[in-house]
Structure 1
Amino acid sequence: MKHSLVLIVTFILIGSLYAAPRGTTQSEYPTTGSVYDQAPVYHPALRIPPASTPTLFNREEWMMADSLTIKSILPANSQIGVKYRSLDQGIEAFSSLGTFSPEMIAAVHKAPRWMQAELTNVLLQLSPDRQILWVNTINNAVDPYIDEIAFSIANSSATYLQSPLSTPQLFIENAEFIYAIDEDLAYVSVVNHGTSTSDPNYYSTTSYRKYNSNGELVNVEVPRDIYYWYIVHPKLTDEIPAYIDPAIVENNSNHANNITAPQIGQFWRSYLYSVQEGEYPVLSDTLTTVQTLFNHNGNTSDAIHALQWWINNTMAFTSNNERPHQPVRIYSKHFGRCGEYADYTSAIARLALIPCTSILSMSGDHTWNEFWDEAWIHWEPVNGYINDPLVYENGWGKVFGSVFEIRSDGFLTSVTDRYSEGLATILVHVADSTGVAIDGARVILAYQETGFIVDMIDFTDNAGNVTFLVGENHSYYARVETPLGIYPPVAGTYSALCANAVDGGEYAYQLTVPCAMPVATVTDLGLPADETQDWRIGVSFSAPVYYINGRVSWDDLSAQGTIPRFYKLVNEPSTINMLITDEDNYLFYQTMLLCEANLYLPNTDHGFVNFNVPAQQNWYAFLDNSTRLANSPLIESMMLYEHYGVGVDDQLLPITTATLHQNYPNPFNPSTAIRFDIPRATEASLRIYNLRGQQVRKLFAGSVESGMHTINWDGTDDAGQAVSGGMYLYRLQSENMDTIRKMVLLK
């Protein structure tokens, strides 16, 4: 009996020593758990369009005194709007988001307009010292690198930008090397569509050459977003973008111990292009003779095949206990499994200006790549696979659950339909205990073999829905996590969904979290009486799209104590709340979601209101996203502050003081109107200055009559040349007045 026991223990130890190592290098989710219940079938209700109101300003007999243009992502539990000050009858912007410093405004408007909302959103989440660090990085950048630097900042997590592990030098080097390597490569060129001073929506991309299936040499331009996400972004999958000491063994727990200062470490984009070790080939020598990116006529003398050769001649397929995520360290080891190969391949392709991403199946414990050539093409260099996506199912015998692509910011997109011939759809609806949809809920999909295998993770949209594309012949289970609670209520358990999903099957289930979504309690008092028709605030607003805001599933920064989050654009309108309150009720609403409002438009995706302002107290007109749990609408709003231009006997109101008004529109492109009031005839001048105090344009200097005056500025200097986008000062000087105001020119 004693000998038998020893023999059994020996076999167990040997089995554990020779167990096959994992292929992927992402951290594992627990495989323990149990089934808590069967999820009920969900029957989608008819969706009722949100309430809306007319959107036209009636401006007859009203004169614009000030304005505020808003285009901003509005996170959950946030407000943004305009405050009326009774003391001086002026208005000012206010926000619960953070401080809009002049430097930050200048940086945002230096970036292309199409990424400004995302850039503003991430900068507002940073501490003042980190915000100014990244703001200065953009403000000090020059063309053609501005858009690449700004995009990488805008689409990095606030957690990373706040961390001391992030450095502006890496972002600058990342952008500069794209243009440096462009000079070496014959098969691809960087193309700039406009500049920061010539086009507010400027962008860059690449154009590459290839032979099509007819043997014709053609040029293809990469779509804008693919260029920025899959060539420019300095992050690949779960690694921390940083300078790495290639000689230091990478810690499997935090993957951060080999991060060093820029002066000591190496960044993969520039390092891997020219590094030379022993007899290993040099990548720059391999690429500089290539003339095409990927040929479809059987000619394999292209960049994809050259990279595949180089990867396999600098790597071997095996592993030891160290499983690095950093491409610099992977190269130094010269071996790895599919996890290392996938990260390595993405880095090599992107530095070669080829769009590339990583594809994962956590349930299948395998990862590989795709590159872009007018479509995403399957690629696994270690096995020589190019455009053979069903090889795993039909050649290896894999039966995938979910297969997904991991974007640089950690967002996961299902691509199961490309890698499985049998496909089912599972919709999971998440609601609170009263049936209200929960947005931004984290839904974990699993299937069961020897234990529960986490198969895919996604987050609910504004309707509380998430849809999974899954392979057939598996039984699927789910659990949901929210800041308000979880379901099933026992940690580590799952609700059963479908058993043995069939090809073409469509399944829908509801998970109900025992909690209550935030609810605003607002008493609508109606617009207050205003005995004097003098000032009013007009607000036109819309929320044309929104962002799903979720926590990143695999990111090495999580080991530092804070989990990064991503923002995924959804091209559907979102509902928001619009309120007008006095100061006390605004504070009540902020703290308790309880107030009396003089106007309340709940759950609407657009609207318009005019509010005649009683002058005895401060007033707040604001847009609110406090009844969402996580998701964030994009707010587009114009707020006008107007003065009634005609009195009771149709006489113009007398001008008693010299006044310089806010320009309109502001921000502006290409021109704006500057209005000023003069009480009596005098000598006056109106000039434009840059932030260095240098005169840009003299708009007027000379005698001026009493009354209201408007002068347009077309965004040119005294020489007639268009000026660059950014913040400018305009100054009115007269006998008894010297006033300066700010304005922003968009480019």
Structure 2
Amino acid sequence: MNLINLLIAGGMTLVPGEDEGRWVQGFSEHLNGPARSSAPARIMPMFPDTYQWTLVDSSFYELMVPPGGRCVILADSVLKRLVNWEVPDWPLTPLAIQAVKAAPAWLQDDLADNLSFLSPDLQDTYALYILNSPDPRFVDEIAFQVAHVSPEILSHEYFYPQLILVNAQYMYQLDEILDYVQILDYPGPDYYSTTVYRMVNLSGDTVDYQLDPFFYYYYIVHPELSDEMPRMDWWVYNRWWRDFYAFYHDPGYPLFVDSLAKARVVWTVTDHAVVLPADRPFDDTCCALNMIGNWVARTVNFPAVGDRPIEPNIIAKEHDGNCGELQDALAAAGRTGLVPMTSICTFPEDHVWNEFYLDGSWHPMQVDLGFNPTHINDSSIAYDSGKQITEAFEWRSDGHGDTHTHIYSKTCSLTVYVYDRDTTPIEGARVMIYGVWDYGRYYSGWGFTDEEGKAEFELGDSTIIMLKIYTKIGDWPVLYDTITVSANPGEHFYETAYLDSVLPGPHPGAQSPGDSVPVFKIQLNLDRLRSEHHGYARCRTSYNDYQGFYHYYNEKHDTGYLSVYLLDSVNYAKYMAGEDFEALYSIEDYTGGSLEFLAPRTSGKWYLLMSNEKRLSTTQLTYATVRLWFNGEAEVVEKPGLADFVFSVAPCPAVGKCRVRFSAPALVPTSLRLYDASGRLVSVIYDGPGDGEIHTAELVGQPGVYFLKLVQKERSWVRRVVLLD
């Protein structure tokens, strides 16, 4: 046994060098406020944390965990290192990352999420449109389209990427022409645009009305209207509809931009229905809504004959259509005039129309077929020939659905819960609502379940209401479920569906911690854990594309959910094999903040699992920091090769002096160095080939904190030394 006496000096806390770990000096700035924390159900063994801990490693991760995905960090008790065992690759190209950073802060998560579903070449293509915008005013409009036009459309052979630029250019060109509206651009990290309108209010005063930016982006900027593929190729005369509607007309038909340029106000607000005759003139005393309806009535002035186009340009060029064509034409005309427009559908009752958003709410608008009147703020248009409606379904441009039934009808409400066989809520289930009319059962709208497995609907009264649920792990029921055959106004219905299948993902039991002394402490901090929820709707490339395809939209939620588990080697292997397993720690649906795990030496390796595997359609985003601490008071005994491994400091803390014991396996290169708190080397205690002995060194010195570093071949260990007065 070798005995070494050493006099040492005091100092401050050591910052370990590269060999001891990877260190992060700061965190990304918050874009949308602080993370929310919660206290979910958890398995948390109670170790009394009264130990002296030494930080031995630290890692930082910017994570995007897709549906069904996970992140696994290995804490290696031999190397005393954190290892990126299974970390999702950041899915964006360098150019796409630049584009995300150039976008408004409020849009960055949506943009990153949508780009992640594109190929690297397409990511770069769309990134360059954002980064190389010919006018800085266009950047937010271009970035919004890249973030909220579905990846399926952005990558489709019929979609021209330059459309997103052309669309923005014509918006600002029309802004210069139209007198009743102005696009406003607000600078700053959260920069955004919106529109302000001149409007006559109910008191007869001319006032300015500024639109909430949400409605500007989704109902003016977004290039889709409902289920049509946005195109500007030969099929639609090689022109974008905002250009075609504004600046093209056949002989004998009015030119839209000339007509609308006369309007001085967007709307003369009324609290009652206004029905305007079809043969009225374009007059500068008319509001913009009046002129938009007048132009559509004169341009699409015959009932539908022959084919039934869904493309605004073809509808305007062929000059005929029923309610479906007139809905598309009015939506395109309104948005060409920079007025927020949406599409309202009562599919089982075979009727559709529009709404515009002004004065803080949605208002009905319809142009009757065959050169007939324009209805403004007239809710009676829903009762086409006296029909009772199942649901007034609002089809947002990106495919998201909502219900506006209360504008037109007395209502009942429906709440649907969807669970798997183990009663786990299923998010992302598509709940389809069906009604019945002369032609049989037909869907009226849809919604998607949230994190609680819940979807809610506002439906009409006095009608038959049915539903069916579609998920990635099975559908329910086999046929259809009838909710009611004649609901009373104000009645509320609940439906709970249990699928026969079970959600994928971890379902651990509780592992006993045993009596071992904790050797490691693992700290996890999930900062700004938020989520991107995805739904889908049908898109058609043309009127004769009857099958179409599903395309996905995204919606950001400020709260995200990751389930966190700590597994030893045996249980991690069982988990990966799909067998029953146990977790030392288990926290389901954690919503962010800090966690600490104390791990005993029952396993040489501990696996920190952050799981999104139970999510079918939601991506989780967060900034994760993992820190690994070592309990220097716990003597480590292993067999790295030729001799038992020993490296301990006792007592610690100590008064005046302490003793360090370490093994030096025969012929294994070994060094033991002492550092003061500033990181300065104080002394080399041992340096040379091992002799197969266990050595003891007595350390005597001034009060302070010191660190011992033992290196053998490519492996290293650190122990903290605390001397007191």
TM-score w.r.t. length of structure 1? 0.69
What is the SS of the residue equivalent to 1:496? strand
Q: Name the residue aligned to 2:221.
A: 232
Distance 1:655 1:526 in 2: 42
* Count of residue pairs the alignment pairs up: 580
Deviation at 1:97, TM superposition (A): 6.2
Distance 2:577 2:173 in 1: 52
Q: Name the residue aligned to 1:289.
A: 262
Contact 1:527 1:599 in 2 (8 A): no
Deviations along 1:373-393, whole A, 9 cap, x unmatched? 121111113331100113443
Q: Name the residue aligned to 1:96.
A: 88
Deviation at 1:91, TM superposition (A): 6.8
Deviation at 1:508, TM superposition (A): 1.4
Deviation at 1:523, TM superposition (A): 5.5
What is the SS of the residue equivalent to 2:349? coil
Q: Name the residue aligned to 1:430.
A: 418
Which of 400, 409, 432 lines up with 1:444 in the alignment? 432
Aligned AA for 1:441? A
Deviations along 1:437-479, whole A, 9 cap, x unmatched? 3322222222334522222222222222222222111122222
Contact 1:542 1:636 in 2 (8 A): yes
Distance 2:198 2:54 in 1: 58
CA 1:391/1:137 → structure 2, altered by over 3 Å: closer, same or farther?
closer
Deviation at 1:324, TM superposition (A): 0.9
Distance 1:76 1:445 in 2: 25
Which of 259, 268, 285 lines up with 2:241 in the alignment? 268
What is the SS of the residue equivalent to 1:173? helix
Q: Name the residue aligned to 1:652.
A: 677
Deviation at 1:436, TM superposition (A): 3.1
What is the SS of the residue equivalent to 1:428? strand
Q: Name the residue aligned to 2:502.
A: 516
Distance 1:320 1:562 in 2: 26
CA 1:367/1:583 → structure 2, altered by over 3 Å: closer, same or farther?
farther
Identity, % of aligned pairs? 26
Q: Name the residue aligned to 1:477.
A: 466
- Structure-to-structure mapping, 1:474-623, within 5 angstroms: 474-489=463-478, 493-522=479-508, 537-541=523-527, 543=529, 546-556=531-541, 562-569=549-556, 573=559, 575-580=561-566, 589=575, 592=578, 599-610=585-596, 621-623=608-610
What is the SS of the residue equivalent to 1:601? strand
Q: Name the residue aligned to 2:376.
A: 386
1:398 aligns with 2:391: no
What is the SS of the residue equivalent to 1:336? coil
Contact 1:526 1:599 in 2 (8 A): no
Q: Name the residue aligned to 1:725.
A: none
CA 1:590/1:381 → structure 2, altered by over 3 Å: closer, same or farther?
farther
Q: Name the residue aligned to 1:409.
A: 398
Structure number with bigger Rg: 2
Aligned AA for 1:426? L
Determine which structure has the larger strand proportion and give its number: 2
Q: Name the residue aligned to 1:333.
A: 318
Distance 1:224 1:62 in 2: 50
What is the SS of the residue equivalent to 1:271? helix
- Structure-to-structure mapping, 1:672-687, within 5 angstroms: none
Deviation at 1:604, TM superposition (A): 2.8
What is the SS of the residue equivalent to 1:564? strand
Distance 1:188 1:61 in 2: 64
1:121 aligns with 2:106: no
What is the SS of the residue equivalent to 1:186? coil
- Structure-to-structure mapping, 1:139-150, within 5 angstroms: 139-141=131-133, 143-150=136-143
Deviation at 1:365, TM superposition (A): 0.8
- Structure-to-structure mapping, 1:329-368, within 5 angstroms: 329-368=314-353
Distance 2:574 2:546 in 1: 38
Deviation at 1:135, TM superposition (A): 2.5
Deviation at 1:161, TM superposition (A): 1.9
What is the SS of the residue equivalent to 1:468? strand
Deviation at 1:201, TM superposition (A): 1.2
Contact 1:527 1:611 in 2 (8 A): no
Tell me whether 299-308 or 212-221 shows the greater mean CA deviation: 299-308
1:78 aligns with 2:69: yes
Q: Name the residue aligned to 1:178.
A: 171
Distance 2:86 2:79 in 1: 17
Distance 2:217 2:579 in 1: 40
Q: Name the residue aligned to 1:24.
A: none
Deviation at 1:61, TM superposition (A): 9.8
Deviations along 1:522-580, whole A, 9 cap, x unmatched? 356589989988x9654234646x55433314544987875212234567x45430234
Q: Name the residue aligned to 2:354.
A: 369
1:313 aligns with 2:313: no
Aligned AA for 1:144? R
What is the SS of the residue equivalent to 1:515? coil
Deviation at 1:187, TM superposition (A): 1.0
Contact 1:402 1:416 in 2 (8 A): yes
Tell me whether 506-515 or 496-505 shows the greater mean CA deviation: 506-515
What is the SS of the residue equivalent to 1:486? strand
1:154 aligns with 2:147: yes
Deviations along 1:64-97, whole A, 9 cap, x unmatched? 986636475x432012476779989577696436
Gaps in structure 1 of 5+ consecutive residues = 1-47, 246-257, 657-747
Deviations along 1:354-385, whole A, 9 cap, x unmatched? 11111111011111111111211111133311
Distance 2:221 2:364 in 1: 21
Which of 277, 280, 283 lines up with 2:250 in the alignment? 277
Aligned AA for 1:280? Y
Q: Name the residue aligned to 2:98.
A: 106
CA 1:453/1:52 → structure 2, altered by over 3 Å: closer, same or farther?
same
CA 1:562/1:357 → structure 2, altered by over 3 Å: closer, same or farther?
closer
Deviation at 1:602, TM superposition (A): 1.9
Which of 198, 202, 206 lines up with 1:217 in the alignment? 206
Tell me whether 582-591 or 458-467 shows the greater mean CA deviation: 582-591
Distance 1:356 1:149 in 2: 19
Which of 602, 622, 625 lines up with 2:612 in the alignment? 625
What is the SS of the residue equivalent to 1:316? coil
Q: Name the residue aligned to 1:22.
A: none
CA 1:585/1:603 → structure 2, altered by over 3 Å: closer, same or farther?
same
CA 1:385/1:53 → structure 2, altered by over 3 Å: closer, same or farther?
farther
RMSD (Å), alpha carbons: 4.0
Contact 1:459 1:548 in 2 (8 A): no
Distance 2:680 2:152 in 1: 52
Q: Name the residue aligned to 1:51.
A: 41
Distance 2:228 2:89 in 1: 29
Distance 1:449 1:288 in 2: 43
CA 1:588/1:52 → structure 2, altered by over 3 Å: closer, same or farther?
closer
Aligned AA for 1:433? R
- Structure-to-structure mapping, 1:186-265, within 5 angstroms: 186-194=179-187, 199-245=188-234, 258=235, 265=238
CA 1:637/1:598 → structure 2, altered by over 3 Å: closer, same or farther?
farther
1:68 aligns with 2:94: no
Distance 2:437 2:548 in 1: 32
Deviations along 1:413-432, whole A, 9 cap, x unmatched? 11111111x21112232233
Tell me whether 465-474 or 407-416 shows the greater mean CA deviation: 465-474
